[in-house]
Amino acid sequence: MGLPIGLINNYYSITIRQNLISGETSLNNVIDKIDQQIKVTDFITTKSKNTFTDNIYENLYKVEEYINFDKDIENFSKVVKKLIDRDPNLYNALVWDAKLMSYKELEKKKILDRINSAIELSPASQEAYRFILDYTKKNDDEKLFNLYCEKYHTSLLGGKRIKERSLFDGSSLTRFGIQINNQFNEIIINEGINLNRDEEYVFILKKPTDIKNLQILSNFLPGTSINIKSFELLNSEDRKFTIYPKDIYLSSKNSFFIEEQNSLKILVANYHDEKIKIKFSKFYEKILQIKIKINFSKANLTNQGKC
């Protein structure tokens, strides 16, 4: 079934994208095409999450960017509800439904229940917070605004799986690793991080190793701030070497660097695997342990209330 499923997904992806770009087809007709894709999916597979789901989501994301009118919102809402009926535990569908309830000015409790269901599924993901912060601010509910702000900045669990090949099988805030001297088969993973405080993350090497280059590997959620304070290397003779960011060279694959006094802040920009390349000013011999002091946090979603 793999080939026909792929062909069907490609057909809908290509035609929907072309319809949106050309503008020759009304948005309602494009939404109807996604509805048709759901019906085809139900016919070929079971009415639950399956191999079509990611493709349907991608098409809905494309359509959402073009929605401007109430009639489009109403039609879009019907498609989203079909997704929720298929599987009530779909994060993005729940967030969309909360947005649509807000557009329709439904009662506050229903909107909060829906967005809370999404947050419970993936507490660290940001899409639900982006909506609910705007919604509570619009309704002048400072208490709820502050509550969701705190949740966003302290939540670790959840994330986003991606189709592309990834060392970490998707974006999350639960782990990262290091790689020594570009040794591709020697990746040491650290499971678990803490937010909003300086923490020392320790990596034990299998054998004494001479080090000049180091890579930090991760797939953190966009908006994650990695504030590196220092490196501490311990060699086989129990000698310690403390190295500060000002004494090394760093570059990255996708992220951006922000200079700060006595530290270096790295801001994650997307959902792809990241490699932060570190070059020390000299070789450090016979290293057995690497300790990195980092403060992980999340960048603000608004300009108010440190949120």
Please give the backbone phi and psi of residue 5, each rounded to the nearest 5 degrees, phi first: -60, -45
Please give the backbone phi and psi of residue 50, each rounded to the nearest 5 degrees, phi first: -150, -165
CATH code for the domain in which residue 96 is found? 1.25.40.10
pTM of the model: 0.80
Q: Are residues 258 and 188 in the same domain?
A: yes
Q: Are residues 97 and 242 in the same domain?
A: no
Q: In this structure, how many other beta carbons lie within 10 angstroms of the beta carbon of residue 54? A: 14
Q: Are residues 86 and 176 in the same domain?
A: no
Q: Are residues 16 and 146 in the same domain?
A: yes
Q: Are residues 6 and 155 in the same domain?
A: yes
Token pair for 131: 């909506």
Residue 306 is assigned to a structural domain of this protein? no
Q: Are residues 190 and 103 in the same domain?
A: no
Q: Are residues 136 and 183 in the same domain?
A: no
pLDDT digits (tens, 9 = 90+) for 284-299: 999 999 999 999 999 9
Q: Are residues 46 and 109 in the same domain?
A: yes
Number of domains, the chain: 2
Q: Are residues 154 and 15 in the same domain?
A: yes
Q: Are residues 126 and 203 in the same domain?
A: no
Residue 33 is assigned to a structural domain of this protein? yes
* Domain span holding position 137: 2-160
| 8 Å CB contact between 177 and 166 | no
Handedness of CA 270, 27, 70, 48 (dihedral sign): negative
Residue 192 is assigned to a structural domain of this protein? yes
Q: Are residues 178 and 283 in the same domain?
A: yes
CATH code for the domain in which residue 246 is found? 2.60.120
* pLDDT by 10s per residue, the chain, length 307: 555 666 777 888 888 888 888 877 788 888 888 888 888 776 666 554 555 677 887 888 788 778 776 667 777 777 878 777 777 788 888 888 898 888 888 899 999 999 999 999 999 999 999 999 999 999 999 999 999 999 999 999 887 776 566 677 778 888 899 998 766 667 888 988 999 999 999 999 989 999 999 999 999 999 999 999 999 999 999 999 999 988 889 898 889 998 777 778 999 988 888 999 999 999 999 999 999 999 999 999 999 878 8
